[in-house]
Amino acid sequence: MRRAVVAGVVGLALVGVAGSAAALWPEPAPAATALSLSGDLHTHDPALVAGAPGEPWYVFSTGDVREGLGAPQIRRSTDDGLTWELVGTVWDAATRPEWVYEAVPGVSNFWAPEVIEHDGTFYLYYAASTFGSNASVIGLTTNTTLDPDDPDYAWVDQGEVVASEPGETNFNAIDPGVVEDADGTPWMAFGSFWGGIQLVELTWPSGKPVEGASPVTIASRTSPPNAIEAPYLVRHGGWYFLFVSRDACCQGTDSTYNIAVGRSREIAGPYVDRSGSEMTLDGGEQLLTSTGDMVGPGGQSVSRGYLAFHYYDAAAGGDFRLEIRRLAWDDEGWPVATTRAEQDG
């Protein structure tokens, strides 16, 4: 419900002239703007790369075993993120990273990619795992262009970034999200269930952890099954914002996925919500949850101020699809992902 309607009515009664009273109505709460998407939106765990005006946009997403041996999928838009087409997968049978299949027996498709550009190179991180296990790895492949039509287009395998093993590590090496701090140092957040969300310092140009770096926990749930994952870090307005997905994914219209956020002045935290509760102790500001036919939003990324995520469409039998919204920011510096219709509904 839009706030402060009563105050506006009182203002109208006091002034008595509609034109003058309009100035007394408070500004409406900030709201996100949802893009009107069309085309191929069958996307899970989208990593958005929003182009500058007039340049292509890309979405990289979790793979499908029926396409490119489960490699991360690539979609492109040439109209500022409105219309999407599938343009291929990151690898095929001839170019797949064979080491991953040895590192994670039983892996069939690759999850939750992340793409970041540094010094003319695009770094694509991806997760290899199986459901219910923390026998997982985050791998890396690089390219000098995202345009599959460019003659220089070629993904080059860079091997393992982080691994987790049952009984040896208390985290799960999936769902990478990379950000550069104010000094240009790259950091990777990752994790799912188990020990929660981890953070590790990387180094350029390798894109891998600095020598001797150990992951530290920056967010967790306080009760089993520690249902928090899909971290994504954003630097905005002197703060670092940690976006996470919580609760149950991948269950169609039974999914309870939702997006929460916390912030910190320092890249390593502590990340807190609006009330000051730390995200290592189940804190987190609710950003987006199920509304109408949009069930279980999550698996998010942020690019050039746009939030991309997937949800399960109740009007389509629970099939998953892509959503992109331009974030708004409130007067306390917190992101807003709800649209005006959702706020008024």
Q: CA angle 316-322-327, nearest 5°? A: 130
Tell me, what's the pLDDT at 29?
85
Mean pLDDT along residues 296-314: 98
Given the residues 114, 175, 229, 273, select the one marked as catalytic: 229
From the number of C-beta atoms within 10 Å of its C-beta (0-12, 13-18, 19+), residue 111 rates as buried
23 falls within a domain: no
Residue 9: inside a domain: no
Report the pLDDT averaged over residues 25-33. 78
Q: Is 102 a catalytic residue?
A: no
Residue 272 lies in a domain: yes
Task: Supply the mean pLDDT for the chain.
Answer: 92
Within a domain: 191: yes
> What sign results for the dihedral spanned by CA atoms 205, 267, 301, 97?
positive
Read off the pLDDT of residues 165-186 as tens digits, 9 standing for 90 and up.
999 999 999 999 999 999 999 9
Type and span of the H or E element at 29: none
State the pLDDT at residue 26.
Answer: 52
Provide the domain limits for residue 261.
Answer: 31-344
- Cα angle 177, 342, 271 (rounded to 5 degrees) comes to 35
pLDDT at 27: 64
Whether 147 is catalytic: no
Would strands 83-89 and 38-39 be described as parallel, antiparallel, or unpaired?
Answer: parallel
**pTM of the predicted model over 0.75:** yes
In which residue are the tokens 């309009």 written? 22
pLDDT at 76: 98
Neighbours of 165 (CB within 10 A): 13
The answer on pLDDT for 164 being more than 90 is yes
Report the distance separating Cα 10 and Cα 25, nearest Å.
9
| 13 — pLDDT class (breaks 50, 70, 90) | very low
Q: What is the pLDDT of residue 8?
A: 33
Is residue 46 situated within a structural domain?
A: yes
Best CA proximity match to 132, nearest among 162, 100, 106: 106
On whether residue 81 sits in a domain, the answer given is yes
Q: In the chain, what percentage of residues exceed pLDDT 90?
A: 89
User: Total structural domains in the chain?
Assistant: 1
Distance, in Å, from the CA atom of 225 to the CA atom of 10, rounded to the nearest integer, reads 49
Answer yes or no: is 256 within a domain. yes
Catalytic-labelled residue, pool 45, 114, 201, 273: 45
Residue 64 region by backbone torsions, left for phi larger than 0, else alpha for psi between -120 and 50, else beta: beta
- In this structure, what are the phi and psi dihedrals at residue 103, rounded to the nearest 5 degrees? -70, -35
Q: How much is the CA Rg of the chain, to the nearest whole Å?
A: 21
pLDDT digits (tens, 9 = 90+) for 272-294: 999 999 999 999 999 999 999 99
Checking if the pLDDT of 11 tops 60, the result is no
Tens digits of per-residue pLDDT, 30-79?
999 999 999 999 999 999 999 999 999 999 999 999 988 999 999 999 99
Please report, for the domain that includes residue 116, its CATH number: 2.115.10.20
Task: Assess if residue 6 is contained within a domain.
Answer: no
Which are the contacts of 18, defined by CB distance < 8 A and separation ≥ 6?
Answer: 12
